[in-house]
Amino acid sequence: MWGLQYDENLSDNPFFQEILANHGDIVRRASQEQWIICIPRAGAFEASEINSETIFDHILVPSATPHEYFCTLTKKQVWIRNKEIVTVEDRPNGTIRVLFEETFYIEDLKYLVFCLERPLFMDRIICDAHRPNVPETLHDCIDFLWGKNLGHVLGKVQRLCASFVEQNRGFATENLQSQRDLVGSLYSQCLQVILKNQKLSGECENLKLAVETYMQSCLDKTLIKAVNTVTCFKDASFNKIVRNSSDLQLKDLNIANKFCDIITNAKIELSKINNYVTILDKVNCLKLTFNHLYNTNVCLTSDDILQIFVFLIIKLNINNWTSNLVYLTQFQFSTLNVSNESNFLVTTLEAALEFVKSSQFAQIKSSQQPMNRIFQTIATNDSAQLRDLLKYKRTAGSDTNLCHPLCDCDSCRSADSSHDVAMTNEKGQSLLTFAALFGRCEMVELLMGMGAEVETRDYFGKAPLHYAAMKGHQDVLLILVNRKAEVNAKDHDGNTPLHLACSNGHESCVKALFYTCRNLDVDCVNKRGETPLHLAVKWNYVGILRILLENHAIAAIANKKNQLPVNLAQNYYTEKLLRQYNKNLEPTQEIGGLYPTSDTKTVACKEHGIRPKGLELIKKIDLLLKAIENNDLPLTCFYLGFSTDSSSDYNFQSKCHPLCNCEKCEDRDEGPRKVVDRINVNSCNIDGFTPLHFAAKFGRTELLRILLDCRALPNLKTYKTLQSPLHLACIHQRLPAVKELAKCANCDVDSQDYKGNTPLYYACVKNDARIVEALLNNGANCDVRNHQGHSVIKEVQEKRLYGISALLKDEASEDFL
C-alpha cells in the first residue's frame, strides 16, 4: 500500500460492466441501503464465471450489528477486518484482501465498490506470480526484473554505472544541479536498455522504479558520497545543533510517556537508514519506522509524529540528515507523483529537520532545572545574590546565628543549609561546574575568587572544563585553563575537553585549547578508541578537522571498530584533507607509540621534517638552529612559540582579567601571540636538520625534552645522510641526549642512515661504552646489517674494539639464552 498501489479502472472491468449493464436495480439499492459492491480485480476470473449467482455472491448487505458484519445477497455471512474480507474462518483461502475502495458518484447515486484480490467463495489457488505487488525494496526490484525475464539487463545496467563512475571522477565536487543532470541522463540510458528489450506492458511504472533502484544500488557509495559532499556544510551546522541538544528528554518536546516503548523500536529501525543505498530502501526504512509508531492502540496525530521524529533525529547517531533528505527529494526520476505516501514520509522528515533548524527549537531548553536556590542564582547570573548566599555562610560559620535554635524562617533556613563553594547538586556538579555549564563567566570568576576547586568532578567524571568545552563557552574555558585546569582530563567515557569540543562542533573552543595549552594531547583516545580527529570527521566539521591536522593530529589511529578517521569520512572534503596531511596514510597502518607492536620498525608518518616555504622562514629556521647551537634556550623557545617551564607563569596571571585587551595587558601578552607565526617544531633547514637534530648534536638535553614534549618527531631524517637525531647524538657522543631520545616510546633505535649504519654502530666506532650500553638497554639490535652487509658486531671485531665487543657479546648471548 506504499509507493505505487495497485490500481485499475473499474469501468473497464468486465465483472463491473456486467453489473452496470444488467443489474441496475442492484446499483440503485446499493446507493439507497449502503450495500457494498465487490469486484474481483481484472484477470482474477474467467468471463464464463460471470453470472447472476456469482454477482449476488459479491454484493454485501450490512447487517444491523455489529458494524463489520455483512451478509451477501445469497445469504452468506462475511465480515470485514483490517481491509480484508473474511468468508470462512481458519481457512487459508477464507480471507480475501481488499486492494482498494472506490466511492462512485454517478448521477444521483452514490455507492461504494471494493476491488478484491480474487473472487469470493471460489476455492481457486492464485499463482503468486500474478499477485499484483509493488516492489518495496531493492530485493523486490531485482526479483521483479528477473520475473519479467529481464535478468540479462542487470549486467548492462551494472556496466553503464561502472563506466559512469569511471568517466565522472570529479562527480563529488560538482554542484547539485549537475549531479542531478548526470544521474538523470544515466537513468535514461539505463531505461533505454530496458525499452529495447521489452514491449512496455501495464507495469511500466514498476519497471521504471525497478531500473532506477537497481541503478542506484550500482552507483552505491559514489552517489551517496557526492550528495554528502554537496551538503557537507549544511550537515555540519545541523549536526552542531543536534549534538548540542542531545540532552533533551521526551518531556522537553512534549512527548507523552505512553510513546516511550514505540519510540525505542522506531529508533532501532530508523538508525539503519544509512545502511541502505537506494531511495526505495531508505523510504522503506522510514515506512517501517512509521509502522512501529502506528502499531499501537494509541492514535498519533501529525503533531505527535513530528515531535517523535524530532526526538529520534536528536537521539540517533546519524551525521548526514540533510544529505539524506536531498537525496530522497532530488534524485528520484522514475515517479513524478508527489501526493503518494512515500512523499508524505519524506515530507515529514523534512518538516522535522526544518523544525530542528528553526528558532522555535532553539528556545526549547532542557528541563534540567536547578533544584537549589543557590544553583538558581548561577543559572540566572545573579552574582549579588550568590555572593550574599555564600558570604552569609562564611560569616555565620559554625556559630549559628539562628533566631532561635529550632527556627524555621527563610533567612535561618538559608543559613542552615550548607552553602559553601564546594557544595554539589544531585548530579555531583559543583557550583563551578554548574557555572561552566551555563557559561556564566562572572560567576566562574567569582567562585574561583572564593576558592572553588577547579578540578572537581561530577558523577560523569566531568570537570568544569569539560562542560565549558562541550557547551562552547570559550570565555569560561580560557579562565579555567588559565587557572591550571587539567586540559587532558578524561571523563568516565574517556573524553577530554578537546573531544567534547570537537564532537559538539565548537571551533572557537578547539582553537582556544590549541592556543593556550602547550601540553594538549591531540591524539588522546576515549573509551571507544576515538581521537578528536575521529569525532571531527564523523560530524563533518571541516574547520575543526583542519585545525587538528595543522596541529599534527595523527590520522593513523584506529578506533575500537578498527576504523581510521579516513574510514569515517563521509564526503570528499574531509577525505581529501586527511589524505593531504597524511600522505603515507595506509588503511592498516598504526602508529607505534600508541600501539606498541613487536616490530620495532614502525613506520613513522613522515621521513623528513617539514620543508619551510619562503625565504623568510628558511632564514628564521637558520636563526633558530643557531640559537640552539648557542645554547640560548629562551630565544629558542621564543622562535618555537612556547614558553619553558620556568617562565610559563607569566601567562594571564598578571593581566587585569584573562581576556583583557587593555594596553598594559597587551604588552604582557606577547607569549601566546607569537604562536600565530611560530616555527613548527618539526620544520627543518635546507639540509633536513630539525631543531631536534641540533639539540641532539649539541647535547641540549633540556631543550630536547621540551621538544619531545611538544610533539617533535624523533625519527625524522636529514636529506642526504638520512641520519636521525639519535645518529647525531651518538656521533657527537651526547650521552644524556641519547638516553632521552632512546627512551622516547616511538623512537626507532635501529634507524639506518645512508650507509645503512645504525646509531649503535656510531657509538661503537666512537668507542663510547656508556652510550652503547644505553642503546642496548633500549633494545638496540646489534645484528642489523649495513649496506656493505656487515653487522655491528663484525665491524667492531674488525676494528679490534674489544671492550665494546664484550658488551655486544654479552647482549647477544643474553638474547641467545
Partner 1 sequence: MANNSGGIHNFKVVLLGEGCVGKTSLVLRYVEDKFNSNHVTTVQASFLNKKLNIEGKRINLAIWDTAGQEKFHALGPIYYRSSNGAVLVYDITDEDSFQKVKSWVKELRKILGADICLVIAGNKTDLEKNRHVSLEEAETYSSKVGAIHFQTSAKLNKGVEEMFLTLTQKMLETVQEKEAQNAPLSRQNSQRRNVVVVDDDQVPPAPTKQCCGNS
Residues engaged in binding partner 1 (CB under 8 A): 5, 7, 9-11, 100-107, 113, 205, 290, 293-303, 305-306, 336-341, 344, 347-348, 350-351, 354-355, 358, 360
Question: Which of 203/382 has CB closer to partner 1?
Answer: 203
Tell whether the torsion through CA atoms of 132, 135, 139 and 145 is positive or negative: positive
How many DSSP H helices and E strands does the chain contain?
A: 39, 7
Question: Which of 1/662 has CB closer to partner 1?
Answer: 1
Burial class (CB in 10 A: 0-12, 13-18, 19+), 639: buried
| Residue 392 host element (H or E) | helix 383-396
Question: Which of 5/163 has CB closer to partner 1?
Answer: 5
Q: Closest distance between partner 1 and the C-beta of residue 349, in Å? A: 10
Q: Closest distance between partner 1 and the C-beta of residue 106, in Å? A: 6
Q: Mind giving me the DSSP string for 237-275?
A: HHHHHHHHTTT--GGGGT--GGGHHHHHHHHHHHTTGGG
Question: Which of 300/660 has CB closer to partner 1?
Answer: 300
Q: How far apart are CA 168 and CA 191, in angstroms?
A: 20
Q: Closest distance between partner 1 and the C-beta of residue 210, in Å? A: 17
3-state DSSP call for residue 774?
Answer: helix
C-alpha cell at position 787 = 649496506
Q: Closest distance between partner 1 and the C-beta of residue 13, in Å? A: 12
Q: Closest distance between partner 1 and the C-beta of residue 149, in Å? A: 24
Amino acid letter, residue 690: T
Q: Closest distance between partner 1 and the C-beta of residue 292, in Å? A: 11
Question: Over the range 328-364, which residues count as b (16 or more CB within 10 Å of their CB) and which as e?
Answer: bebbbbbeeeeeeebbebbebbbebbebbbeeebeee
3-state DSSP call for residue 808?
Answer: helix
3-state DSSP call for residue 166?
Answer: helix
Q: Closest distance between partner 1 and the C-beta of residue 31, in Å? A: 13
Q: How far apart are CA 211 and CA 678, in angstroms?
A: 58
Question: Which of 295/411 has CB closer to partner 1?
Answer: 295
Question: Which of 9/369 has CB closer to partner 1?
Answer: 9
Q: What is the CA radius of gyration of the chain?
A: 38
Q: How far apart are CA 245 and CA 358, in angstroms?
A: 13
Q: Closest distance between partner 1 and the C-beta of residue 56, in Å? A: 23
Q: Closest distance between partner 1 and the C-beta of residue 606, in Å? A: 50
Question: Which of 102/388 has CB closer to partner 1?
Answer: 102
Question: Which of 56/355 has CB closer to partner 1?
Answer: 355
Q: Closest distance between partner 1 and the C-beta of residue 270, in Å? A: 16
Question: Which of 143/205 has CB closer to partner 1?
Answer: 205
C-alpha cell at position 88 = 470462512
Question: Which of 5/249 has CB closer to partner 1?
Answer: 5
Q: Closest distance between partner 1 and the C-beta of residue 716, in Å? A: 56
Q: How far apart are CA 390 and CA 450, in angstroms?
A: 9
Question: Which of 339/369 has CB closer to partner 1?
Answer: 339
Percent helix, strand and coil across the chain, each rounded to 5? Answer: 55, 5, 40
Q: How far apart are CA 369 and CA 12, in angstroms?
A: 66
Q: Closest distance between partner 1 and the C-beta of residue 82, in Å? A: 8
Strands 109-116 and 36-40: parallel
C-alpha cell at position 795 = 665491524
Q: How far apart are CA 607 and CA 470, in angstroms?
A: 36
Q: Mind giving me the DSSP string for 319-379?
A: S-HHHHHHHHHHS--S---TTSHHHHHHHHHHHHHHHHHSHHHHT-------SSHHHHHHH
Question: Which of 294/754 has CB closer to partner 1?
Answer: 294
Please say whether the beta carbons of 737 and 696 come within 8 A.
yes
Q: How far apart are CA 304 and CA 239, in angstroms?
A: 23
Question: Which of 204/422 has CB closer to partner 1?
Answer: 204
Please say whether the beta carbons of 695 and 703 come within 8 A.
yes
Q: How far apart are CA 264 and CA 552, in angstroms?
A: 41
Q: Closest distance between partner 1 and the C-beta of residue 364, in Å? A: 9
| Residue written as grid cell 655486544 | 808
Q: Closest distance between partner 1 and the C-beta of residue 179, in Å? A: 21
Q: Where are the alpha helices (DSSP H) in 483-585?
A: 497-503, 507-516, 532-538, 542-550, 565-568, 572-581
Q: Helices 232-244 and 341-357 sit at what angle, rounded to 10 degrees?
A: 70
User: Residues with Cβ < 8 Å from 203, sequence gap 6 or more?
Assistant: 148
Q: Closest distance between partner 1 and the C-beta of residue 682, in Å? A: 51
Question: Which of 353/443 has CB closer to partner 1?
Answer: 353
Question: Which of 112/542 has CB closer to partner 1?
Answer: 112
Q: Closest distance between partner 1 and the C-beta of residue 360, in Å? A: 5
Question: Which of 105/816 has CB closer to partner 1?
Answer: 105
Question: Which of 135/612 has CB closer to partner 1?
Answer: 135
Burial class (CB in 10 A: 0-12, 13-18, 19+), 369: exposed
Q: Closest distance between partner 1 and the C-beta of residue 105, in Å? A: 5
CB atoms within 10 A of CB 389: 20
Question: Which of 122/305 has CB closer to partner 1?
Answer: 305
C-alpha cell at position 258 = 505512553
Q: Closest distance between partner 1 and the C-beta of residue 7, in Å? A: 7
Give the Å distances, CA to CA, from 13 to 30, 42, 44, 412: 19, 6, 11, 88
